[in-house]
């Protein structure tokens, strides 16, 4: 069975094509700048790479363009587009629906109810799904919600201390995100450690960051809450923030609530702290050159990760492995070292040379460390592909 996995942005469409017989990635590609006069369509199939520019007005045309490249007569991975059995979506927020679903009107309605909670994610997914249903009516579409992995979190770590009727009527609680990534880490750590009962902290650190405590393979605590805006500071999103500061900001600036929220979601996080950049590489370069605000952004990020890690260690009664993934987690050796510094009393001892040298998957714990430290590149797309196959087989 061939499954196309889609990861959408408001103006982008990224995909991977999997042969689920052996989970090989046959092709990957992207369409960027959807809606511009000229969009970029790139594809990589084996040693063949191609980038072409063409008008791509919407996500339906983007999928058609990607299928055209995948069926290239000379280099394509497909003879015909009909070989694709389904498209699986790494969907973000379904609110009252959390799981894996064949896309229908109920799924789309549930996502639309959460547009205000995930404004950067849900609207483009909904629009693309509707277009694809119309243009490819015989092609099953499957939504695998990121919140699904976190359904095992106990109620005491899931509920907000808000009026009960709000929680019940509006489905307000901590949902958690990056579910596909944390699910992949849970499975891979079980393989590496040779046990499924390990207490693991999965640190997905990148442009968007979250931590999840995993016990017996299940999510038991996570940093993101009702929306992907929360938790540790993101590259340009605020992270945790006191809502009672909002009236003061509105009063002092004259901005509307929507304007304040937009700024917190686009000019907050590491970008807001540094007044420079939300990119960790830029911040490290600027901090090394003496920029104090960039150094502050780095320090706040590290301290917030450590704060949440501490809570997770207490919640699980210890930790057997700490895993770093995502762009920062995989490449940020200085960040990894800072997060794990001075934790010897908790059984965390870093092998500095290994941390410096690591490239790809590997460990960097010292032989005296009770806690294993790993870098594991995540694979969210293969998780979505597996969930898509399982959903179709049970439909």
d(CA 270, CA 163): 32
CB 6 within 8 A of CB 15: yes
Exposed e or buried b for every residue in 34-44, given b needs 16+ CB within 10 A?
beeeebbbbbb
CB 45 within 8 A of CB 38: no
Query: Binding site membership for Mg(2+): which residues?
Result: 7, 380
Query: Binding site membership for ATP: which residues?
Result: 14, 279-281
Secondary structure of residue 319 in the 3-state scheme: coil
Secondary structure of residue 239 in the 3-state scheme: coil
- What element of type H or E holds 15? strand 12-19
**Quick count: other Cβ atoms within 10 Å of Cβ 174?**
20
Query: Binding site membership: which residues?
Result: 7, 14, 279-281, 380
The DSSP secondary structure of 79-90, one letter per residue, reads S-GGGEEEEEE-
Edge-to-edge strand ranges of the sheet holding 321-325: 218-222, 210-215, 199-204, 321-325, 372-375, 362-363
At 265, list the tokens: 């979601």
Burial of residue 173 (number of CB atoms within 10 Å: 0-12, 13-18, 19+): middle
């Amino acid at each position: 069975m061939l499954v196309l996995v889609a990861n959408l942005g408001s103006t982008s469409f990224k995909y991977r094509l999997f042969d689920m017989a052996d989970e090989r990635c046959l092709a990957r590609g992207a369409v960027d700048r959807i809606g511009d006069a000229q969009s970029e369509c790139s594809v990589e199939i084996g040693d063949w790479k191609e980038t072409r520019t063409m008008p791509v007005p919407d996500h339906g045309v983007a999928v058609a363009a990607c299928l055209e490249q995948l069926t290239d007569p000379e280099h394509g991975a497909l003879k015909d587009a009909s070989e694709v059995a389904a498209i699986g979506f790494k969907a973000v927020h379904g609110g009252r629906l959390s799981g894996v679903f064949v896309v229908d009107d109920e799924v789309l309605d549930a996502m639309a109810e959460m547009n205000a909670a995930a404004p950067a994610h849900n609207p483009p997914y909904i629009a693309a799904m509707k277009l694809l249903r119309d243009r490819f009516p015989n092609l099953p579409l499957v939504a695998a919600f990121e919140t699904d992995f976190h359904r095992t979190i106990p109620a005491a770590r899931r509920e907000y201390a808000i009026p009960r009727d709000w929680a019940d009527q509006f489905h307000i609680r901590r949902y958690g995100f990056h579910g596909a990534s944390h699910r992949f880490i849970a499975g891979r750590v079980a393989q590496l450690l040779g046990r499924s009962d390990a207490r693991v902290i999965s640190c997905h650190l990148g442009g968007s960051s979250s931590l999840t405590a995993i016990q017996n393979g299940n999510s038991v605590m996570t940093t993101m809450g009702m929306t992907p805006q929360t938790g540790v500071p993101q590259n340009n999103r605020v992270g945790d923030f006191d809502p009672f500061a909002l009236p003061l900001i509105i009063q002092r600036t004259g901005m509307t609530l929507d304007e304040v929220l937009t700024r917190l979601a686009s000019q907050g996080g590491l970008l807001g702290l540094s007044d420079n950049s939300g990119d960790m590489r830029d911040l490290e370069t600027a901090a090394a050159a003496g920029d104090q605000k960039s150094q502050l952004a780095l320090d706040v990020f590290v301290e917030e990760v450590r704060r949440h890690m501490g809570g997770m260690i207490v919640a699980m009664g210890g930790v057997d492995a700490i895993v770093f993934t995502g762009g920062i987690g995989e490449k940020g050796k200085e960040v990894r070292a800072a997060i794990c510094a001075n934790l010897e009393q908790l059984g965390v001892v870093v092998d500095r040379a290994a941390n410096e040298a690591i490239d790809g998957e590997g460990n960097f714990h010292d032989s005296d460390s009770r806690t294993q430290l790993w870098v594991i590149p995540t694979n969210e797309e293969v998780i979505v592909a597996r969930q898509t196959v399982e959903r179709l087989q049970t439909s």
